[in-house]
Amino acid sequence: MKNVLQKRARLAGLFVGVSLSAAGFGQQAGPLYLDPAQPVEARVEDLLKRLTLEEKVSLVHANSKFNSGGIPRLGVPELRMSDGPHGVREEIERDTWKPAGRTDDFASYLPVGMALAATWNTDLARIFGETLGREALARGKDVMLGPGLNIMRTPLCGRNFEYFGEDPFLTGRMGVAYIRGMQSQDAAACVKHFAANNQEWQRGSINVEMDERALREIYLPAFKAAVKEAGALTVMGAYNRFRGAHCCNNDVLLNTVLKGEWGFKGLVMSDWNGTHDTRESVFGGLDLEMGTNKPTGEFYMAEPFLEGLRKGEYPDSILDDKVRRNLHVLFTLKAVDGKKAGSMNTAENQNAARRTAEEGMVLLKNEGNTLPLKTEEIRTLAVIGGNATRKFARGGGSSGIKAFYEITPLEGIVQRVGAKVNVVYSEGYTPTGQGFPRINPAGMPPGTSGGTSGGTSGPQRTGPPGMGPEGTTLSWGGLQEAGPQKDSTLVERAVQAAEKADAVIVIAGLNHGRFLDAEGVDRRDMKLPYGQDELISRVAQANPRTAVVIVSGAPVEMDAWLDRVPAVLQAWYAGMEGGNALARILFGDVNPSGKLPCTFPARLEDSPAHALGAYPGKDGTVRYDEGLLVGYRWFDAKSIEPLFPFGHGLSYAGFAYSKLRLVRGNGNSGPLVEIRFEMENTGKTEGGETAQVYVQDMQSSLPRPVKELKGFQKVFLKPGEKTAVSIPLDRTAFSFFDPEKGGWLAEKGDFHIMIGSSSRDIRLQEKFKLRESCFETEGRKTIKAK
């Protein structure tokens, strides 16, 4: 330890004449802030007082595309950041968006957020975070720009694939585990995009209006858990506005809620080019300005801030607070002390990718045990569909990765079946559109055709990373737009291949092309592009033994063919091991155990924001008229049958639930109630099942959703095996946000506790009486309400 310390201090040229007995270094004492044995806050204070005004200001804005300023004079390194949520991004030049052209910037491509959420496995989320953390370190990064914890409000949001679905509780649990895993490696998570960033359309300017309960109960809880439970070190403000003010300088969100109520100690950075004004940013809670499309010195929180400070327009204390937060992150990450080495693309990291892919795939339908396929029954297997051979790592926008490798579905299948089965591939359709949609930040309004300009409203006129000035595009992959066009010759060829085969697998879905699963734009509808509906229908007609695999980051419409197809598997974007994982599921080496983290509506109009015409907003504002009724909460309230409900996912095994018992706790030192029951694997295959606990408030002073997810547990059982499950519920499982009282109220009375295999497949239920009401203000301790 002493050696490392001395080396670093020597590098910084610090040993001349500095003596500090408190550091306990013996004779060669260095400054306290360089002593790893000192508490972080003491180190922060010690360094703070050594900084000049100019140095302080240099810490609160970027000095390259992905680095914040360091203080070379004092041996303080830059904070090095990288996208993103499912892998460490390719290196770009320091001051441009051009790839740096290096050969050492590959990374493991893990499954996307929606796939991870579909595992419902918090242990795996922790492993996922650890894996990213190890790779971040190996690539010399301090902060990873993820996870994205925005709630899926509409199936159309272009970035749904990066997020964890529609439910705040699931998003929170998975997010907390991911962040803990990542930060255990001394890599900081950056939870984004705070907050209410639920569409890409006009993302740079759209103003979001929603009621307080929707904010507190739906859109904030996952962020709150990330901060309060996982100790997320950094938070990224969103591009959009919330109640009038941009989220990167939103006093309510950043000062009142995040830093005030939740006690956040870390730093708030802007989304790239999400800063708009010096004064608003300084007072609005921003601690680090990133990605502004200006020369560094002209950043809002660079020279203009310094000048303001010199003129006395801003108190020094406000700068000191921002600097403290930046230094807090730096020291907590051991950025000054020397960090672990990390690792890239190891067997451990590959396993994490494969397990997540396997556990995240969701078996939506499986009539007549069509799946798993048995190689001994198949001589010729037709694999059909453009997504069978497509790679996805680089796509989607800022989350794109230069992957070490990526096993496509076709490669995975061919490798799995070996010489035993003759695999015939037929493309069926040609996907167009790849890469990042380089358009203005506001995105294109749904319903308009291609083009690279227009669609902007609101004050923001320059774009996020890689985007040129308004209306121009830069070169990062093709820009073709996905259309409904089909190629009849390809369809005919696919039908012929299907006719001659013993079984067919169609690998269909979306891709990261423009207006599909892509940053900066939303989808325009929920349909499969390129005439895939017709392709699937025709293929299924030609061969009834057809299984459809959907590769997408969000729900797609299946009405046109679902009845004709016996098996459907939702595979998401499954990362570099995706093809192997898929093959292992299709051929039964792995039993599917994923569950949907979002409702799959039969048609877009069934989902709340669309039913109410509350998307994409008018005149620069989108009003969340559905309030609390997001996702299954809406489908339940309106008794709408979804195509596949939230929490749905089949297995090759079967699971029986029995013997529900509610064991009351005291609620102070432990849970209010333990939900205990038994689960048994009644099938012939080993498998995993996620038991879901939903809570319904039987009477309450304010309207509440019909039921809400408040607990879950994934268990793995051998055939015939039985296990006892216990899921604790605390007060938060019963409470709602009371806007008048400004806090969380659990009202005494009856609640229904429902245990389900999905939100629409409730297996056990029991009444629970809450004997005493309980009220808790944000950030303060519980007060009993009499």
**Which helix (H) or strand (E) element contains residue 316?**
helix 316-332
75, 84, 385, 688: which one binds ligand BGC (CB under 6 A): 84
Question: At closest approach, how far in Å is the CB of 630 from ligand BGC?
Answer: 21
User: Residue 765 and residue 763: Cα distance in Å, rounded?
Assistant: 7
Q: In the 8-state DSSP scheme, what is residue 598? A: S
Using CB under 6 A as the binding rule, whether residue 271 contacts ligand BGC is answered as: yes
Per-residue tokens: 769: 């009486």
Q: Closest separation between CB of residue 65 and ligand BGC, Å?
A: 8
Please tell me whether residue 398 binds ligand BGC under the rule CB under 6 A: yes
Query: Would you count residue 205 as binding ligand BGC (CB under 6 A)?
Result: no
Residue 618, beta-bridge partner list? 621
- Shortest Å, Cβ 149 to ligand BGC: 12
Between 464 and 631, CB nearer to ligand BGC: 464
To ligand BGC, the closest distance from the beta carbon of 398 in angstroms equals 4
**Contact present, 218 and 628 (Cβ < 8 Å):** yes
Least Å distance, CB 87 to ligand BGC, is 13
Spatial distance between the Cα atoms of 266 and 287, rounded to a whole number of angstroms: 9
Given a contact cutoff of 8 angstroms between Cβ atoms, the answer to whether 637 and 611 are in contact is no
- Of the two residues 43 and 512, which places its CB atom closer to ligand BGC in the complex? 512
CA distance 778 to 786: 19
Token output for 203: 């993302």
Exactly one of 161, 264, 272, 624 binds ligand BGC (CB under 6 A); that residue is: 272
Q: CB–CB of 598/152 below 8 Å?
A: yes
Single residue of 168, 360, 465, 529 touching ligand BGC by CB under 6 A: 465
Is the CB of 140 or the CB of 739 nearer to ligand BGC?
140
| Minimum CB distance to ligand BGC smaller for 143 or for 746 | 143
Give the nearest distance from C-beta 272 to ligand BGC in angstroms: 4
Q: Which of 46, 142, 271, 636 is catalytic?
A: 271
What is the distance, to the nearest Å, from the Cα of residue 662 to the centroid of all Cα atoms in its chain? 33
Of 271 and 411, nearer to ligand BGC (C-beta) is: 271
Among positions 119-148, residues that touch ligand BGC (CB under 6 A) are 145
Comparison of 384 and 442: residue with beta carbon closer to ligand BGC: 442
Count of other CB atoms within 10 angstroms of residue 231: 17
Q: Which is nearer to ligand BGC, 464 or 667 (CB)?
A: 464
| Shortest Å, Cβ 35 to ligand BGC | 33
Cβ closest to ligand BGC, residue 385 vs residue 443:
443
The whole-angstrom separation of Cα 585 and Cα 120 is: 17
- Rg of the chain, C-alpha, whole Å: 26
**Considering the rule CB under 6 A, would residue 192 count as an interface residue with ligand BGC?**
yes
Distance of closest approach, residue 29 Cβ to ligand BGC, in angstroms: 41
Residue 464 found at the interface with ligand BGC (CB under 6 A): yes
**CA distances (Å), origin 93, targets 90, 137, 313, 466:** 10, 19, 35, 12
Q: Which distant-in-sequence residues (6+ apart) come within 8 Å of 347 by Cβ? A: none
Q: Structure tokens of 554?
A: 């969000």
Q: How far is the CB of 701 from ligand BGC (least distance, A)?
A: 39
Can residue 83 be called a binding residue for ligand BGC (CB under 6 A)? Answer: yes
User: Annotated catalytic, 271?
Assistant: yes
- What is the layout of strands, in order, in the sheet containing 380-384? 362-366, 567-570, 546-551, 503-509, 380-384, 422-426
User: DSSP 3-state assignment of 67?
Assistant: strand
* Helix, strand or coil, per DSSP, at residue 385: coil
What is each CA distance from 118 to 186, 571, 597, 599, 756, in whole angstroms?
Answer: 26, 10, 5, 12, 16
- Residue length of the chain: 786
Measured in degrees and rounded to the nearest 5, phi and psi for residue 699 equal: -145, 140
Numbers of helices and strands, H then E, in the chain: 18, 26
- Do residues 402 and 107 touch, judged by C-beta distance below 8 A? yes
Give the list of residues 6+ apart from residue 181 with CB closer than 8 angstroms, or none.
Answer: 125, 126, 127, 128, 129, 130, 131, 132, 133
CB 691 within 8 A of CB 715: yes
- 18 within 8 A of 30, measured Cβ to Cβ: yes
* 19: CB partners within 8 A, 6+ apart: 29
Provide the minimum distance between the beta carbon of 655 and ligand BGC in the complex, in angstroms, as a whole number. Answer: 38
- Residue 436 near residue 397 (C-beta atoms within 8 A): yes
Q: How far is the CB of 465 from ligand BGC (least distance, A)?
A: 4
Q: Measured from the CB of residue 349, what is the shortest distance to ligand BGC in angstroms?
A: 21
Q: Does 289 bind ligand BGC (CB under 6 A)?
A: no
Decide whether 512 or 731 has the Cβ nearer to ligand BGC: 512
Whichever of 326 and 398 has its CB closer to ligand BGC, that residue is 398
Q: Which is nearer to ligand BGC, 412 or 458 (CB)?
A: 458
The answer to whether residue 292 forms part of the interface with ligand BGC (CB under 6 A) is no
Q: Where are the alpha helices (DSSP H) in 589-744?
A: 608-611, 632-637
Q: Which residues contact 274 (CB under 8 A, 6 or more apart)?
A: 204, 237, 238, 239, 246, 247, 248, 291, 464
Would you count residue 113 as binding ligand BGC (CB under 6 A)?
no
Q: CA distances (Å), 296 to each of 53, 73, 122, 142, 308, in order?
A: 17, 20, 40, 21, 17
Q: Does 648 bind ligand BGC (CB under 6 A)?
A: no
Q: How far apart are CA 68 and CA 107, in angstroms?
A: 22
Nearer to ligand BGC, 141 or 486 (CB): 141
Minimum distance from residue 56 beta carbon to ligand BGC (Å)? 24
Give how far Cα 12 sits from Cα of 55, 71, 79, 203, 362, Å. 15, 10, 17, 43, 53
Q: Decide whether 149 or 362 has the Cβ nearer to ligand BGC.
A: 149
For the segment 492-551, give every residue that binds ligand BGC (CB under 6 A): none
Q: Does 242 bind ligand BGC (CB under 6 A)?
A: no
Nearest CA-CA partner of 135 in 114, 163, 105: 105
Strand order in the sheet with 207-209: 245-246, 241-242, 207-209, 621-623
CA nearest 428: which of 480, 392, 363, 382? 382
List the catalytic residues.
271
Residues that bind ligand BGC (CB under 6 A): 83-84, 145, 192, 271-272, 398, 464-465
